[in-house]
Amino acid sequence: MTTLSPVRPEGERPMGFADRLLSLPFVQRSDALRSFILGAWLGWQIESNWADPLLFAVYSFARPIASVMILVVMYSVITDGATQQPIFAYIYLGNALYIIVGGVLGGISWAVIDDREHYRTAKQLYTSPLVGYAYLCGRGAARLLIGAISTIIVTVFGVLLFGIPITIGSIDLPFLIASIMLGLTSLSGLGLIIGAISFQLGRNAWQAGELISGALYLFTGALFPLDILPPVLREIGLIFPATYWLEAMRRALLGTNMIGFPTFAALDNTAIAFILLIMSVGLWVSAAFVYRWSMRQAREKGVIDLETNY
Amino acid sequence: MSSTPLAIETHDVRRIYKIRGGKRKGEAKTLIALDGVSLEVPRGELFGLLGPNGAGKTTLIKILATLLLPSSGTAKVDGLDVTTQTQEVRRRISMVSGGETSGFGLLTVEENLWMFARFYGLDNKTIKSRLAEMMQMVGIYDRRSTKISDLSTGLRQKMNFIRGFISDPSVVFLDEPTLGLDVTAARDVRGFVKDWMAQNPDRTLLLTTHYMAEADELCDRLAIIDRGKTLICDTPENLKRRLQSETIFHLKIQPLRKPTSPENVVEAVPGVRSVTIADQTDFSELRLSLQGEEALPAVLSHLSGRGSGLLSLEKREPTLEDVFIQLVGRRLDEDTNLNGTGEER
Amino acid sequence: MTAFKTTSPPAAKATGATLFWRTMWARAYPRIVGSLIRERSWLFFETVLPLAATVSYVFVYQAVGAPEEYVGFVVLGGAMTAFWLNILWAMASQLYWDKEGGNLEIYVLSPGPLMAILLGMAVGGFVMTVTRAAIILIVCSLAFSVTYTISSVPLLIAIFVLTMIALYGMGMMFAAVFLASGREAWHLANLLQEPIYLASGFYFPVRALGFWVAAASSLIPLTLGMDGMRQLLFAGDATLGFLSVEVEAIILLILSVFFLAAARFMLTKLEEIGRREGRLIERRR
């Protein structure tokens, strides 16, 4: 028995929208697609439904808002509340967008450890005919979606309360769509690599994603222009897709309101998109290798279903 | 220690759970896990609780082990009330469950056991000597420096046993202790339990199991419990003796078709006291309890009339399983119907 | 297995303070040995994350041209995040994790007091966290050449000790609250992360939030603890403080007593409810 379609009594649709997706003929033909949808469905159930809806709203709202408010207060203490300065929009928007970066980079490794240590379902998952990486990407997608909701909330909050200059006229829609697609592809490739490596780590794997995204916070120009960094650290930032993605998103959203910093002055929009494309391809090819290597290692060491219970 | 000769004493213990799933949304539904259980276990006895999943065995053990309060009734361990004299009771008891996962994976067997023993206030010197002895006894001494995340189920359960016994308790509760263990490990566990009891006449052990042979081998006395009620309580020998007047046959026959009418069931054959039927892929298994051997030919002709030829036939001495079937009306491996009163907690 | 024959004497079991002491150190042991010795990578993970955030905030201040002392404020706040993270993830959530792992049942079953178990977790966690905080403090102070002008060493030590007692007392109380809230404890811990960084002034003087917000935030011991330590470490900047250091010390003392008493009360309640309702203690899926 290798089917992944859920068996259900007639008339019952326990998985709602996901169930309808799973019934599509082309989905039924592809184990990877089914695994992805199931992963995303499960991720959404875990992240959203099990908590009280009110608590969930607070969680999606309060945490990111608090996070950005720390920066707002820091900024205001020093500048006496001069939020109309371009540097404020730079900091604010970088922080809002970084929620997505964190979600994508940390989501997959989080899923690995959550299945293993918390729900103890790793054994069942990896002995079933699921396509592991697709399932994990699904879990990551659910976190991405939740992150994206927070990003939108924080951005709207900033536009309304602090006058972040995003207007219909300032948005470069084609470039925005291209940036989102290329950015998410490259970031999820990196997320999958981190997730795959998490299989090798103990319980602290749940921090692997956060660790990388935390470190990238420093190097990718999320909160301050890269020019502030000493030259050596600046070079580190240039090898990560998040750096280019944040630059691309700021340009796409703020248009001419975007402050220009010397780091990327030489690159036009097309060049940035091209860099993201190259990175996407490179990271996904690497992810495929790393995932296969890591799963083989994990099976060799017997740690796929590791429970440390520390 | 209290002067009472009773190690465990329960009087009309009831336990009701509030669970979700009432008729209206958000409405609580009550579930009676124990329905007036009264037991007396004298000191020095190895007492068994036998019953299917959902009978209420674990609920009773949890009440006695101070993890759960009774909804009504009283329960005493070593003469101490489990509801009010909690701390005193905890000093004297311990509990080991089958499939237990306690402990810290990063610590070794020895470190975990040291930690648990300290929770009972043991000093380092005592722990050291008792640990070494007990680890040798159960055969995990050479694995004492292994992290417990690397232990097999059997070794993990042996470690749990040491945890349960290292504090030198006077009353031990074992909840399905051989669950999931292989034959050798289960035999080791039974041997350990018997020896522990034999070493000191004041020790008491309460065991729940749904392995009949285990209960038969270990227990001085046992209670059969179903749907939260004790049905009977006696020694295994006396329980089996109740069935001496019956003749028990185990039959394998060709798959039995459904009876054409209610009068056409096997129970309707004269001389048949009770029947249980288990359908397998290629045959059906019948356990027949007859008033006497003379009733057998009529049963065989009834079966062949329903198109089922005889494959094998065996006359059996009554076992605890037969006692259980006679009392409960179904086999032990058939769970309690949850629409009824009990749910295993 | 061989026959059960022990030659060692019957186990003498301690009671009262000795039992409390033994239980506490027994529970601290997995924390200290497990994390500091056995899984050293944990230290790396737990240090780098707050370190990166701290450094980022320093650069934010530099990007907006903040005065030099703000770098010191951020460095201290960054070091203290290690304690807050420890409270949320290794104290408040730990009883819930212990329940899921099957250990809580053993704690409750044993005569060792639950309060001693929690104190053991706190002690173990403190040893781990103080190492982390020290690393952040030293690395950042050196990297950004932070200058400290300590005005009173005894007062500084007093403020730090009181902050820690009150903070871990609160962590113990949270452990009971989080256990009672089950799965949602996870979200609760998340919810108390950034909002508390904001409200307690981890990265800026809490005074910037205005008197009433700062007063409300003072329920979190780190608010006054950090404010007091900033005043004492950067002597020239006492004007940025919220209340006087002496007043802050008194409030921290009151908070310490309150949180420890509350933790004890709630644990007793929790066990009682757990035994009455047949949940909380056992693992559920």
In a domain, A234, yes or no: yes
Task: With CA atoms as reference, report the closest residue to C77 among A237, A70, A276, B232.
Answer: A70
Question: Is A78's CB within 8 Å of C64's CB?
Answer: yes
Residue C260 predicted with pLDDT over 50: yes
Q: For the range C197-201, what are the long-range contacts, defined as Cβ-Cβ under 8 Å and sequence gap of 24 or more?
A: C197/A66, C197/A67, C197/A70, C197/C81, C197/C84, C198/A66, C198/A67, C198/A69, C198/A70, C198/A73, C199/A66, C199/C223, C200/C84, C200/C226, C201/C77, C201/C226, C201/C227
Q: What is the ipTM score, two decimals?
A: 0.85
Q: What is the residue extent of each domain of chain C?
A: 43-277
Interface of B with A (CB under 8 A): 101, 103-106, 149
| Residue B123 contacts C, CB cutoff 8 Å | yes
**Most confident stretch, A121-125, B66-70, C248-252:** C248-252
pLDDT band at A48 (very low <50, low <70, confident <90, very high): low
pLDDT tens digits for C84-104? 988 888 888 888 888 878 899
Which structural domain, as residue segments, surrounds residue A109?
Answer: 33-301
Euclidean distance between CA atoms B179 and B3, whole angstroms: 35
Euclidean distance between CA atoms C151 and B326, whole angstroms: 85
Å between B137 CA and nearest CA of chain C: 5
What's the number of domains chain A is made of?
1
Residues in a beta bridge with C45: none
What is the H or E stretch that residue C123 is in? helix C114-143
What would the mean pLDDT of A119-128 be, rounded to a whole number? 79
Contact B34, B13 (CB under 8 A): yes
Euclidean distance between CA atoms C281 and C117, whole angstroms: 14
In a domain, A27, yes or no: no
The residue among B212 and B342 whose pLDDT is bigger is: B212
Give the neighbours of chain B: at least 3 Cβ pairs within 8 Å.
A, C
| Residue C65 contacts A, CB cutoff 8 Å | yes
Task: With CA atoms as reference, report the closest residue to C101 among C38, C42, C30.
Answer: C30
What's the pLDDT at A81?
Answer: 82
What's the pLDDT at A54?
Answer: 62
By percentage, how much of chain C surpasses pLDDT 90?
A: 46
Structure tokens at A100: 């997505």
Give chain C positions within 8 Å (CB) of A119.
Answer: 285
Could you report how far apart the first and last alpha carbons of chain C are, in Å?
Answer: 34
Give chain B positions within 8 Å (CB) of A308.
Answer: 105-106, 149
Residue C125 predicted with pLDDT over 90: no
Structure tokens at B62: 């949890």
Give chain A positions within 8 Å (CB) of C190.
Answer: 59, 63
C212, burial (CB in 10 Å: exposed 0-12, middle 13-18, buried 19+): exposed
Structure tokens at A144: 């991405």
**Most confident stretch, A209-213, B99-103, B321-325, C27-31:** C27-31
pLDDT tens digits for C35-53? 777 776 667 777 777 788 8
Question: Is A308's CB within 8 Å of B101's CB?
Answer: no
pLDDT tens digits for B213-271? 888 889 999 999 988 999 999 999 888 887 776 788 888 888 877 776 666 788 888 88
Question: Is C191's CB within 8 Å of A59's CB?
Answer: yes
Residue A157 predicted with pLDDT over 90: yes
What's the pLDDT at A8?
Answer: 44
What's the pLDDT at A179?
Answer: 95
Which residue in the set A73, A76, A228 is minimally distant from C59, CB to CB?
A228
CA angle A256, A258, A262 (to 5 degrees): 115
Question: For residue B87, how many other CB atoms are within 10 A of its CB?
Answer: 13
In a domain, A98, yes or no: yes
Task: With CA atoms as reference, report the closest residue to B208 among B61, B10, B34.
Answer: B61
pLDDT, mean over chain C = 86
| Residue C30 contacts B, CB cutoff 8 Å | yes
Question: Lowest mean pLDDT: which of A2-6, A119-123, A267-271, B95-99?
Answer: A2-6
Cα radius of gyration rounded to whole Å, chain A: 21
The residue of chain A with its CA nearest to that of C33 is A310
Q: Match 């909840």 to its residue by tokens.
A: B175
Residue C99 has φ and ψ, to the nearest 5°, of: -65, -45
Residue A55 predicted with pLDDT over 70: no
Residue A12 predicted with pLDDT over 60: no
Question: Is C56's CB within 8 Å of A228's CB?
Answer: no
Question: Is A211's CB within 8 Å of C62's CB?
Answer: no
In a domain, A219, yes or no: yes
By percentage, how much of chain B surpasses pLDDT 70?
A: 90
| Residue C106 contacts A, CB cutoff 8 Å | no
The residue of chain A with its CA nearest to that of B112 is A310
Q: Under DSSP, is residue C254 helix (H, G, I), strand (E, B) or coil?
A: helix
Question: Is C34's CB within 8 Å of B106's CB?
Answer: yes
What would the mean pLDDT of A268-292 be, rounded to a whole number? 95
Indicate the pairing of strand B93-97 with strand B46-50: unpaired
What's the pLDDT at B2?
Answer: 46
What's the pLDDT at C220?
Answer: 95
pLDDT band at A7 (very low <50, low <70, confident <90, very high): very low
Give chain C positions within 8 Å (CB) of B90.
Answer: 109-111
Q: How far is CA A53 from the centre of its chain?
A: 22
Residue A57 predicted with pLDDT over 80: no
Residue burial B197-217, b: 16+ Cβ < 10 Å; e: rest: beeeeebbbbbbbbbbebbbe
Give the neighbours of chain A: at least 3 Cβ pairs within 8 Å.
B, C
pLDDT tens digits for B11-56? 999 999 877 665 565 566 788 999 999 999 999 999 999 888 888 9
| Residue A61 contacts C, CB cutoff 8 Å | no
Which residue in the set B102, B126, B139 is minimally distant from C1, CB to CB?
B139
In a domain, A309, yes or no: no
DSSP state of A69: H
What would the mean pLDDT of B277-287 be, rounded to a whole number? 84
Residue burial B246-280, b: 16+ Cβ < 10 Å; e: rest: bbbbebebbebeeeeeeeebbeebebbbbbbeeee
| Residue A263 contacts C, CB cutoff 8 Å | no
Structure tokens at A246: 């944040």
Å between A119 CA and nearest CA of chain B: 14
Q: Does residue A296 come out as left (phi exceeding 0), alpha (psi in the -120 to 50 range) or beta?
A: alpha
What's the pLDDT at C102?
Answer: 85
pLDDT band at B342 (very low <50, low <70, confident <90, very high): very low
The residue of chain A with its CA nearest to that of C195 is A66
pLDDT, mean over chain B = 85
The residue among A163 and B321 whose pLDDT is bigger is: A163
How far are the Cα atoms of A48, B31, C210, C282 from residue B71, in angstroms, in the given order?
36, 12, 52, 18
Give chain B positions within 8 Å (CB) of C15.
Answer: 91, 121
The residue among A127 and A295 whose pLDDT is bigger is: A295
What's the pLDDT at B174?
Answer: 94
**Residue in B112, B149, B150 to test binding to A, most A beta-carbons within 10 Å:** B149
